[in-house]
């Protein structure tokens, strides 16, 4: 499964690269990184941990993002996102787990409140699962007692213990080696796999990771240099206010070029016209990350009771935007909305600054 190993390598490296960027911008309160990490903290917000060897028993009231070579995880969190080489999970996770690595082991003592997403070379799933499960790997071993949700698997070899009870539907690729004596499976389905060029997969994945990291870094840099921009987005807008912002953005998008062109055809207005066009281009470029951050703020407020780090809000908003942009047609509509809405937000910021200075 060379394709899968290369895919996981890119995911792991991308996650490690991201945490390196965060280290320069985040405070120690939100981020812990060293060669060998042993931690047992109780923290009331999302948390980032990275290192070569990580042993974490932290209690995180939010998302716990962990990246490293060898991970020993025994803490608690609302969401767990882990990437590494050898990952042993003995966590209590209130909602979902997202994990990618070479060797992944989820023990029977683990508690997963909702869904599991795992990709690796060798996966061993021993924990009971309440929600749906999505697994991709070379060899997948399942010896959980009870799995209540559906399971979707893509693997070369699948081994399911005879005592495992699957109340939902098991779906796996038809060319997999399937070893199981259990009769306690609600329904079994298979699907055909298509051969995709390895170069194409790596190219698309690397382009996506690069674009995401660039987008996130831009948002982080803006927040670091101009924190007031993102603080002004804390207010939740009503549906009418969102519409008005988008409408103002539409007017702004067409009005500025027209005025700039008029200035350019005059003699005394050429410098102002050139400057206004340059500022206009910059505002167009910044409209998407600013609008994405606002959406990220809305999502974090829905997930968490308390206000989170602005960098987490930016990160979530950027991920949402990049994922939606992978969907044909929808991506075009979504991008147009972000540009117009973002321009409207920038326009309102300019008005507020102008009123303060009058």
Could you tell me which residue, 7 or 252, shows the higher pLDDT? 252
Measured in whole angstroms, how far is the alpha carbon of residue 346 from the centre of its chain?
25
Could you tell me which residue, 254 or 231, shows the higher pLDDT? 254
Of 25-29, 133-137, 205-209, 315-319, the range with the lowest mean pLDDT is 25-29
Of 119-128, 239-248, 274-283, the range with the lowest mean pLDDT is 239-248
pLDDT given at position 23: 35
Average pLDDT over residues 92-96: 89
Average pLDDT over residues 107-121: 91
Q: What is the DSSP annotation of 199-227?
A: HHHHHHHHHHHHHHHHHHHHHHHHHHH-H
Residue (of 346, 146, 194) closest to 256 by Cα position: 346
Q: Where are the domains of the chain?
A: 2-195, 199-357
Is residue 126 pLDDT above 80, yes or no? yes
Given pLDDT bands bounded at 50, 70 and 90, which one contains residue 351?
A: confident
Average pLDDT over residues 229-235: 71
Query: Cα-flanking dihedrals φ and ψ of residue 29, to 5°?
Result: -65, -25
Given pLDDT bands bounded at 50, 70 and 90, which one contains residue 25?
A: very low
Residue (of 130, 138, 136) closest to 156 by Cα position: 138
pLDDT given at position 24: 30
Is residue 293 pLDDT above 80, yes or no? yes
Given pLDDT bands bounded at 50, 70 and 90, which one contains residue 13?
A: very low
Could you tell me which residue, 298 or 6, shows the higher pLDDT? 298
Of 18-27, 113-122, 164-173, 275-284, the range with the lowest mean pLDDT is 18-27
Is residue 268 pLDDT above 80, yes or no? yes
Is residue 22 pLDDT above 60, yes or no? no
Is residue 21 pLDDT above 50, yes or no? no
In this structure, what token pair is assigned to residue 218? Answer: 């831009």
Q: CB within 8 A of 289, min separation 6: which ones? A: 215, 218, 219, 222, 314, 317, 318, 342
Could you tell me which residue, 357 or 325, shows the higher pLDDT? 325
Q: CB within 8 A of 8, min separation 6: which ones? A: 100, 101, 102, 119, 120, 121
Of 8-17, 94-103, 187-196, 233-242, the range with the lowest mean pLDDT is 8-17
pLDDT given at position 224: 80
pLDDT given at position 138: 92
As a whole number, the mean pLDDT across the chain is: 81
pLDDT given at position 141: 94
Is residue 2 pLDDT above 70, yes or no? no
**Residue that is written with structure tokens 């990350």 in the block:** 289
pLDDT given at position 199: 63
pTM of the model as a whole: 0.53
What share of the chain in percent tops pLDDT 90? 22
84 near 71, Cβ under 8 Å?
yes
Is residue 271 pLDDT above 80, yes or no? yes
Residues 202, 208: Cα–Cα separation, whole Å: 10
């Amino acid at each position: 499964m060379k394709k899968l190993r290369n895919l996981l390598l890119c995911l792991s490296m991308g996650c490690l690269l991201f945490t390196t960027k965060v280290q320069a911008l985040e405070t120690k309160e939100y981020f812990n990184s060293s060669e060998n990490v042993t931690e047992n903290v109780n923290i009331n917000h999302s948390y980032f941990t990275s290192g070569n060897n990580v042993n974490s028993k932290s209690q995180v009231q939010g998302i716990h993002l962990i990246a490293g070579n060898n991970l020993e995880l025994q803490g608690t969190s609302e969401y767990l996102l882990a990437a590494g080489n050898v990952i042993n999970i003995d966590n209590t996770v209130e909602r979902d787990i997202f994990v990618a690595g070479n060797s992944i082991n989820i023990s029977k003592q683990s508690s997963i409140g909702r869904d599991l997403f795992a990709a690796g070379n060798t996966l061993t799933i021993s924990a009971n699962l309440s929600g749906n499960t999505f697994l991709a790997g070379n060899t997948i071993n399942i010896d959980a007692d009870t799995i209540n949700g559906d399971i979707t698997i893509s693997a070369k070899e699948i081994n399911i213990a005879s005592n495992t009870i699957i109340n939902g539907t098991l779906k796996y690729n038809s060319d997999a080696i399937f070893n199981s004596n259990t009769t306690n499976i609600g329904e079994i389905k298979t699907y055909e796999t298509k051969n995709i060029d390895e170069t194409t997969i790596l190219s698309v994945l690397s382009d996506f990771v690069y674009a995401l990291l660039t987008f996130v870094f831009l948002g982080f840099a803006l927040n670091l240099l101009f924190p007031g921009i993102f603080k002004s987005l804390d207010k939740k807008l009503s549906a009418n206010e969102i519409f008005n912002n988008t409408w103002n953005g539409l007017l702004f998008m067409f009005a500025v070029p027209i005025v700039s062109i008029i200035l350019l055809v005059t003699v005394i207005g050429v410098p102002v016209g050139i400057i206004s066009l340059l500022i206009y281009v910059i505002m167009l470029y910044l409209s998407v990350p600013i609008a994405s951050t606002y959406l990220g703020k809305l999502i974090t407020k829905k997930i968490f009771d308390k206000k989170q780090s602005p960098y987490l809000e930016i990160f979530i908003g950027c991920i949402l935007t990049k994922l939606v942009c992978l969907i044909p047609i929808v991506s075009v509509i979504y991008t147009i909305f972000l540009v117009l809405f973002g321009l409207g937000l920038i326009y309102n910021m300019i008005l507020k600054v102008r009123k303060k200075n009058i």
